[in-house]
Structure 1
Amino acid sequence: MRTSEHDHDHDHEPGREPKHGNEHEHEHRNETAYALSESRTLWELIARRADLTPERPVLLQAAADPSDDRTLTFGELRDRAERVAAGLHDMGVRPGTVVAWQLPTRIETALLSFALARIGAVQSPVIPFYRDREVGFALRESKAEYFAVPGTWRGFDHREMARRLGARGVFEAYDDLPDGDPSVLPPPPSDGTAVRWIYWTSGTTSDPKGVLHTDRSLMAGGSCLAHALHLKASDVGSMAFPFAHIAGPDYTVMLLLYGFPAVMFEHFALPAALDGYRRHGVTVAGGSTAFYSMFLTEQRKLRPGEKVIPTLRLLAGGGAPKPPEIYHAVVREMGCQLTHGYGMTEVPMITMGAPDDTAENLATTEGLPPEGMEIRVTDADGKELPPDTDGEVRLRGEAVCRGYLDPRQSADVFDADGFLITGDLGHLKKSGHLVLTGRAKDIIIRKGENISAKEIEDLLHQHPAVGDAAVVGLPDPERGERVCAVVEQHAGAGELTLETVVSYLRGEGLSTYKLPEQLELVEALPRNETLRKVLKYKLRERFSRS
């Protein structure tokens, strides 16, 4: 979608070229944050920040009853995490011990995680919504010696599940945490390149994969996010996603580098969570594209001139494709900026949009990579392609994982030059901005022609009756695959038909061979519980027919 001159004027002075890459960094560089980003380990970063601003808040726990809200300062984070580390040490946790934890987004969860970082244990976070299949797989594959659970949380007994799975060293870590005398602890770890984190891919079509990270790879991802957003100590962020997601350390590193707090939501749901955003004066919110849409829905319930979060100046996130129309709707209706990035469990942050970039770049690209992140776009044989040419996205840099727990999986995902083969398709602009055009597995092959699902989805999102949309390829005996559009409609919108959708897409210039041959209207697209990504495999299962 083209942007108007007005859109561009909103972002920079007429006649003046927008800044890119290092020019952004030079103008907005925070010397303290850049110095802290050189910390060797996550614990060293925590300790250095606590020395600088011990009394400043870092975590704000939002409760249903405002009188139950809690605050943790940077100094308390360091001191209490050391006491928890000592308690874990008394239990038998040592450097290299594998500890799995499945906990909600709470101050106690952060304390436990940082305590394990203080010891130098290997931690394996598990999303709290996962159940026996995924949790059992993670426990078996990681050979976890301890497993921290919340007890019964949101009606589900995690301790009983742990018993069914035969988990070892099970302990509860919801309100109460292990406690001890820090004098028993060995020195903090000093090698930030050792593998101390095992994160799990979603495993929506097969078993999850254990992704190996180091302190430095997680810190590199968080630094990319922090430096791109030009944040200030006066900002207030928010964690509406599971802390056990790879975004947990991403976001925490940002708080530590720039010295500002974030509001934690144990269970995120709108409109209930809005009171927490408002009373804590959140200035930076987000999560993923689905979160942007949820905030827009709440904004549209208000009278003209009212803001859903009065203090909000920036929505930021990643983890799922962002249609250009979502960007323009947020800026137009919510009166704040929207920056979107590109990351994955294997590489927590690859590129990130900067708030002072042009509207065109923020709407249509995933932003710029940080210094040290190499992006190579190749053909199927690994040959590098020139700018503005679509191909496969490959990555190399400090933020890239060290491979998978199963070494056989690692052999298939890294090329001969050490680049991670992402499976994503896109191109680099001459400015260095990355444009994603789809997934290699999300290309629909109809009568031998490749069709990008994302191209059709981006057009559908511009239709006034469409709330959200997903396009999938379904098996077809004549065509190989046929194009199926699955649509959520806005409340009160007239019911769409295949004929009206096809007519609209033709009018937008979509080639005939890409037009949908099947339309399905649904109340809600199926999504995962972390960043609310659409589960396309469920749509294929539901709507395929022989």
Structure 2
Amino acid sequence: MNDTAHTLGRSRTLWELVTRRADLTPDRPVLLQDDRALSFGELRERAERVAAGLYDRGVRPGTVVAWQLPTRIETAVLSFALARLGAVQSPVIPFYRDREVGFALRESKTEFFAVPGEWRGFDHAEMARRLGAKNVFEAYDRLPDGDPSVLPDPPADGTSVRWIYWTSGTTSDPKGVLHTDRSLIAGGSCLAHALRLSADDVGSMAFPYAHIAGPDYTVMLLLYGFPAVMFEHFALPGALEGYRKHGVTVAGGSTAFYSMFLAEQRKQPGEPVIPTLRLLAGGGAPKPPEVYHSVVREMGVQLTHGYGMTEVPMITMGAPDDSAENLATTEGRPPEGMEIRVVDGAGRPVPYGVDGDVRLRGEAVCQGYVNPEQSAEAFDADGFLITGDVGHLTQSGHLVLTGRLKDIIIRKGENISAKEIEDLLHSHPGVADAAVIGLPDAERGERVCAVVEQPPGAEELTLSAVTSYLRAEGLSVHKLPEQLEVVDALPRNEALRKVLKYKLRERFSG
């Protein structure tokens, strides 16, 4: 991280970071969308006016304001306006509907709710009325406006809870994750430090701004002073025009995004799908080694992958100068200030190379959950967050994730990592994507089931062909799938396109 970015990274609050960057490079662009551009100076100016408009409506420091808005310049401006006021923000993914939205509004005790009106064929304002939300206002292309002279002083404390982010809720009700300005700045600083970007780069946001990746990425822009292109709706090949038009140098989001770019590249081998692109980066879901090698080989760009979650927006990240082996097989290293402890079932640290429960402590870690009981269960006696992930540290300090505690298949008393089998399946030419799950089995406890997507034109896979391939790749016999399901598309969430394994278990458990 350069000296300027390092100094900015010590900002106490997000608003302080905005003002310091605006003072340094007021005329440089920060957000690009279609034919629009917003500079760092304009971001500060517009956010202050919107903050004044919100203040006129009754929003005060500590007021809980939920917003369910798409990835747009206006959304970022509204969010920073709320940061200027010191309100408590509760971002909600735009694709959530009555159950998740109603839960978030109730649990956070939301006092104001910003919606896009009718967006992509769904009436969010009507849903808000149906849910009995208070003080609903539309904020798609018009934002409140007022005179900044009425505003109180900006918040000076960066360690108070001012953010409530919601986990995906794929197996139960979502959890409300409590963050501070400082935890979000620390997460974004980790990302910025690892990727080693410069003011000459152009980034991209193809994910929902309401996801924890929104502030994570925006902090990086503020630290280094470069812009990012925002995509309100991401789909390929349609979005390629925006990447090319603005000369994007850094793209990504998660493994699913890498695969989508690869699919486009394969339509025109040898001709760069985005001529200016030099780096794909992301996290949020496991990355099979074969995906890394395919991106480097076929797209001619570097790929760095990391590890993060709603509770800790950035934990580790691969660095562009890491070895190919580490970039392909690990999640990278933690930055200064992030402690990783890997422990056994009794909570005792394990040696390098030995799998265990991954736990975290550092400034980027959340303050807990809206539900106090969930908070009490989330941390161990030493203050480390219990992630539920399984993995190990290497001698070089790189983290290798091998699965989740809930994603370990127990077959006849033997623990089997779903990720190990998935990584091997991804190297099969007849597999476009794969998910491995454990299904109830009266004889074995659980049986191993592989669910795969196939690329267009591929010969239909059979269970015997898959098991023969896996055996040839060296997979132990007791880990071989006993069931194969071929699907048109794996079920995914709408944020970072994670595979929803619970839906597969529901579908194939019969």
TM-score using structure 1 length: 0.93
Alpha-carbon deviation of 1:413?
Answer: 1.1
Question: Counterparts of 2:456 and 2:37 in 1: how far apart (Å)?
Answer: 38
Query: Which of residues 238, 243, 263 in structure 2 aligns to 1:272?
Result: 238
- Contact (CA 8 Å) 2:205, 2:231: kept in 1 or not? yes
Query: Which of residues 133, 142, 155 in structure 2 aligns to 1:176?
Result: 142
The one-letter code of the counterpart of 1:417 is D
Question: Counterparts of 2:338 and 2:352 in 1: how far apart (Å)?
Answer: 17
Query: Which of residues 203, 214, 220 in structure 2 aligns to 1:254?
Result: 220
* 1:515 is the counterpart of 2:480: yes
Query: Which of residues 88, 104, 108 in structure 2 aligns to 1:138?
Result: 104
Question: Counterparts of 1:453 and 1:357 in 2: how far apart (Å)?
Answer: 26
Q: Residue 46 of structure 2 corresponds to which residue in structure 1?
A: 80
Please list, as runs of the form range in 1=range in 2, the aligned pairs for 1:208-219 lying within 5 A after superposition: 208-219=174-185
Please list, as runs of the form range in 1=range in 2, the aligned pairs for 1:74-473 lying within 5 A after superposition: 74-302=40-268, 304-473=269-438
The one-letter code of the counterpart of 1:113 is S
Alpha-carbon deviation of 1:305?
Answer: 2.3
Alpha-carbon deviation of 1:381?
Answer: 1.3
Question: Counterparts of 2:440 and 2:370 in 1: how far apart (Å)?
Answer: 34
* 1:41 is the counterpart of 2:13: yes
Alpha-carbon deviation of 1:386?
Answer: 1.1
Classify the secondary structure of the residue corresponding to 2:368: coil
Question: Counterparts of 1:471 and 1:141 in 2: how far apart (Å)?
Answer: 34
Question: Counterparts of 1:151 and 1:436 in 2: how far apart (Å)?
Answer: 41
* 1:58 is the counterpart of 2:55: no
The one-letter code of the counterpart of 1:293 is S
Question: Counterparts of 2:373 and 2:486 in 1: how far apart (Å)?
Answer: 41
Question: Counterparts of 1:428 and 1:124 in 2: how far apart (Å)?
Answer: 34
The one-letter code of the counterpart of 2:441 is D
Question: Counterparts of 2:440 and 2:161 in 1: how far apart (Å)?
Answer: 42
The one-letter code of the counterpart of 2:323 is T
Classify the secondary structure of the residue corresponding to 1:484: strand
Question: Counterparts of 1:541 and 1:368 in 2: how far apart (Å)?
Answer: 36
* 1:31 is the counterpart of 2:6: no
The one-letter code of the counterpart of 1:420 is L
Question: Counterparts of 1:31 and 1:353 in 2: how far apart (Å)?
Answer: 21
Question: Counterparts of 1:86 and 1:502 in 2: how far apart (Å)?
Answer: 63
TM-score using structure 2 length: 1.00
Question: Counterparts of 1:204 and 1:242 in 2: how far apart (Å)?
Answer: 17
- Contact (CA 8 Å) 2:270, 2:298: kept in 1 or not? no
Runs of at least 5 residues in structure 1 that lack an aligned partner in the other structure: 1-28, 63-68
Alpha-carbon deviation of 1:157?
Answer: 0.2
- Contact (CA 8 Å) 2:91, 2:164: kept in 1 or not? yes
Question: Counterparts of 2:475 and 2:244 in 1: how far apart (Å)?
Answer: 42
The one-letter code of the counterpart of 1:513 is H
Q: State the Cα deviation string for residues 486-534 of structure 1 (Å, max 9, x = none).
A: 0001111111100000000000110111000000001110000000000
The one-letter code of the counterpart of 2:303 is L
Would you identify which runs of 4 or more consecutive aligned residues in structure 1 move more than 4 Å? Answer: none
The one-letter code of the counterpart of 1:143 is K
Question: Counterparts of 1:272 and 1:41 in 2: how far apart (Å)?
Answer: 37
Classify the secondary structure of the residue corresponding to 2:432: strand
Question: Counterparts of 1:534 and 1:497 in 2: how far apart (Å)?
Answer: 22
Q: CA RMSD in A?
A: 0.5
Q: Residue 500 of structure 2 corresponds to which residue in structure 1?
A: 535
Question: Counterparts of 1:31 and 1:242 in 2: how far apart (Å)?
Answer: 31
Question: Counterparts of 2:242 and 2:306 in 1: how far apart (Å)?
Answer: 25
Classify the secondary structure of the residue corresponding to 1:466: coil
Question: Counterparts of 1:404 and 1:450 in 2: how far apart (Å)?
Answer: 31
Question: Counterparts of 1:329 and 1:370 in 2: how far apart (Å)?
Answer: 27
The one-letter code of the counterpart of 2:352 is P
Question: Counterparts of 1:168 and 1:418 in 2: how far apart (Å)?
Answer: 37
Identity %: 84
The one-letter code of the counterpart of 2:123 is D
Runs of at least 5 residues in structure 2 that lack an aligned partner in the other structure: none
